Amino acid sequence: MPFQDPEEIGYGYVIARYVTGKETGRPRYRELKSGRFLEFDRPLADRFVRHLVDDAAAVTDDELDALLGFEWRSRFTTAWLIGVDRRDEYRERLGELLLAGEFCLSGGAYCFALARFGTPADAEILTAYLDRYLPRTDLRHDQAAALGALLRLDAHLGTHHADRFTAPGGLWDRWVDALPHLRDSPTHTLAALRRRTDALCDFANGWTLP
């Protein structure tokens, strides 16, 4: 995808407004990346969520385009804004970015947005990503986030796209087993992947603490 600093096209303000703002004392992208907001106490969670929802509703398409053309922090946060407001007209763009694997640190947010959109088309994108990247046991990109999102979509759509990845001894097991420290990791069980995606999407759905 083309790479361009928003400053160069007259949108230099978007980084400070949408990406690095510090409602909690830390930049927004860091809170979203860590998932720490799921553990905030009520006043802090309410403040964080209020600003995020307001920005997701207010950001313009031109601003989103400027942000998606920049680096991983910008793309990660922008995908969250898109997912929160369910702007599914960005499905194809996010799918292209995910499949390109250009900035692997931002891919988890693309998976979140696709899980939020919640349609068969989103499941197809996640399936295509896993087809491409799960066989690459040398790459630690966003395979876990993609599988967690696909497991959620299967559960909601009544489909079974994830089955061929999760069969015993299949692509997921081989990808995990390629790194010894992941083999027994509680964060890389199928149940944990699904819980993680559910927690993010349920928070976005109801804006209440778990």
Domain residue extents for the chain: 6-206
Q: Look at residue 204 in the predicted model and tell me its pLDDT.
A: 75
**What is the model's pLDDT at position 192?**
93
Q: Which backbone phi and psi does 6 adopt, to 5 degrees?
A: -55, -25
The pLDDT value given to residue 23: 81
pLDDT by position in tens, the chain (length 210): 567 888 888 889 999 999 998 888 899 999 999 888 888 887 887 888 888 989 999 999 999 999 999 999 999 999 999 999 999 999 999 999 999 987 678 999 999 999 999 999 999 999 999 999 999 999 889 999 999 999 999 999 999 999 999 999 999 999 999 988 888 888 889 999 999 999 888 877 765 433
What is the structure's pLDDT at 207?
Answer: 54
Structure tokens at 138: 């040398």
Lookup result for tokens 């978007």:
14
pLDDT of the residue at 2 = 65
Q: Is the dihedral of CA 45, 142, 67, 82 positive or negative?
A: negative
DSSP string, 39-98: G--HHHHHHHHHHHHHHHHH--HHHHHHHHTS-HHHHHHHHHHHHHTT-GGGHHHHHHHH
Q: Helix, strand, or coil here: 168?
A: coil
HSE of 182 in the Cβ direction (CA atoms, 13 Å)? 15
CA distance 197 to 54: 22
Cβ–Cβ < 8 Å for 207, 53: yes
Q: Which 3-state string (H, E, C) describes 97-139? A: HHHHCCCHHHHHHHHHHHHHHCCHHHHHHHHHHHHHHCCCCCC
The predicted structure's pLDDT at residue 38: 82
